[in-house]
Structure 1
C-alpha cells in the first residue's frame, strides 16, 4: 500500500513578503536541503512505513523545487530511470541505500536500445547521513538491499520533475521501457 503525497513545508513560517524575483536553487542548495531534512528526525518519523511497498510524503523544496521523503522496505528499489532533465540531490535519513549509476550522458530522444561501453558503471552505498547531488542527465537505480530494515531518504529536484524515463537493463544493454508523467506518481 502506498501512502499518497502530502505537502509539508519544513521550516515554514508565517509572515514576510514573498520574493519578487524568482530564484533557481543550485545543486548545492538542494544538497543542503536534503541533508538538513534527512537530519530532522521528527519530520522523517511522520512518514508511515509499509512492510511491502514504498510510501512517501511530498515536501516544499527550496525555491520551487520538488522534494520527497521516501521509505524503502527491505528489498525494494526504483529500477533504472532518469529525472526528465531535472537535476537534484538525495540523502539517506535512515538505513542504507545502494545506488548504481551510469557515468555517461545518454541521448534523451530518438532511441529505444543502447549498448553501454565498458567502464560507465558506478556503484555507491549511502548510509544514514550520506548524501549526493546529481546533474540533469543522471541515469541510475536506487535500492534497499537489506533483508530486514527499512531505509528512508529525502530527494529534491529542480525543475519539478516533468517526466521520468524508465529503463530495463540486461548486461550492457539499456532499453527505454516507459515514460511516466507527474500525474502518474502524484
Structure 2
C-alpha cells in the first residue's frame, strides 16, 4: 500500500515494464479486427496494461473513471488527442508520441489515441487506482457528450 501523501509516478512504472519485455507474461499480439490488450499486473495501488495498435486502430474519446495514470510508447508511433470542454465547444490538442515517449495524466483526463502511422505500435499503460469505469464521449456542438459508461469486468 502506498504511504499517505506519497504519489506514485505512473510514468516511471510504465517505463520499468517497458524496459523488461522479457518479463511480460504474454508477448504482444495484433488483431486486424480490434485493438489487442492484456493486463500485465495489478497491485493495491495501480494496474499495468499492454496494448497493441495496427495502423488505423484507435480508441474513442474516453476518460479513465477517475483514475490517474500514464502511458509509454514501447514501439511505433501513436497520436494522442486531448479534449477539454471550453466555452463554445470542445478544444482538441493533438500530439505525436514516438517510440520511447510517454506521458502522465490526471484523474480528469479525456483523450483518444490512434495509430496514424503505417507501422504497428505497442504501448504500456498504468492506471492508479485500477480502472473501474471508462466513460466514452463524442464531440457535439456543445462540447463533450457522454455516449456510454463501461465497467471493468463486464466490458473489458
Task: Please give the TM-score of this superposition, normalised by the length of structure 2.
Answer: 0.85
Q: Indicate if the aligned counterparts of 1:93 and 1:154 stay in contact, CA closer than 8 A.
A: yes
Q: 1:101, 1:77 → 2: CA distance?
A: 13
SS at match of 1:35: helix
Shift of 1:121: 2.5
Q: How does 1:23-38 map to 2 (within 5 A)?
A: 23=2, 26-28=7-9, 30-38=10-18
Q: 1:95, 1:172 → 2: CA distance?
A: 34
Aligned to 2:19: 39
Q: How does 1:92-107 map to 2 (within 5 A)?
A: 92-103=73-84
- The structure number with the bigger radius of gyration is 1
Q: How does 1:91-170 map to 2 (within 5 A)?
A: 91-103=72-84, 115-116=88-89, 120-146=91-117, 148-170=118-140
Q: Which has the higher helix share?
A: 1
Shift of 1:82: 0.3
Q: Which has the higher strand share?
A: 2
SS at match of 1:183: coil
User: Residues 38 and 185 (structure 1 numbering): CA distance in 2 closer, same or farther, change over 3 Å?
Assistant: farther
CA RMSD of aligned residues (A): 2.4
How many residues align? The count is 153
Task: Please give the TM-score of this superposition, normalised by the length of structure 1.
Answer: 0.72
Q: Deviations over 1:38-75 (max 9, x none)?
A: 23343567122223321112121565311100001110
SS at match of 1:149: coil
Aligned to 1:53: 34
Which runs of 5 or more residues in structure 1 are unaligned?
Answer: 1-21, 107-113
Which runs of 5 or more residues in structure 2 are unaligned?
Answer: none
2:61 maps to 1:80: yes
